[in-house]
Structure 1
Amino acid sequence: MSCPICARPASPSYRPFCSRRCADIDLGKWLTGGYSLPEGVGEEEDETAPEKPSLPH
């Protein structure tokens, strides 16, 4: 398995990353929204998906 950040071989201590540095880079991307989906993605799926029936109250 290779590191998803730099493509070096993964280290068992930091798997799936090769080092603490790459693990921290990945964490930083998560915390700053670097892995978020752009707006509008998934809206097409919602329009074509069948509506769920509402439950009676």
Structure 2
Amino acid sequence: MTTVVKCPTCGKDVRWVPENRFRPFCSERCKQMDLGAWAAEKYRIGGNEEDTPPDDEAPPTDTRQ
């Protein structure tokens, strides 16, 4: 039995098989549209302000010798 998922970009049914090189997308176009949305910062990964150090904080130094 083949698993069928929805393309995250257009919602079209997509067979989840190794031959589908664009999975989970239905096509190269939908794959590129999704990549473009990430590049344009249309998607965000949730988090808290506490998770990010302040910009003025110095990065940790390497103390290995």
Shorter-chain TM-score above 0.5: yes
Partner residue, 1:33: 41
Give percent identity, aligned residues only: 38
Give the unaligned 5+ runs of structure 2: 51-65
Question: Could you state the TM-score of these two structures normalised by the residue count of structure 1?
Answer: 0.59
Q: Of residues 7, 12, 17 in structure 1, which corresponds to 2:11?
A: 7
CA distance in 1, matches of 2:25, 2:39: 17
Question: Could you state the TM-score of these two structures normalised by the residue count of structure 2?
Answer: 0.53
Deviating beyond 6 angstroms after TM superposition, the runs of 4 or more aligned structure 1 residues are none
Q: How many residues align?
A: 42
Deviations 1:2-54 (A, max 9, x none): 1011111225120000001100000001111110258xx624xx4xxxxxxxx
CA distance in 2, matches of 1:2, 1:30: 19
Give the unaligned 5+ runs of structure 1: 47-57
Partner residue, 1:24: 32
Relative to its length, the structure with more helix (as a share) is 1
Any idea what SS the aligned residue of 2:6 has?
coil
Q: Aligned-pair RMSD on alpha carbons?
A: 2.1
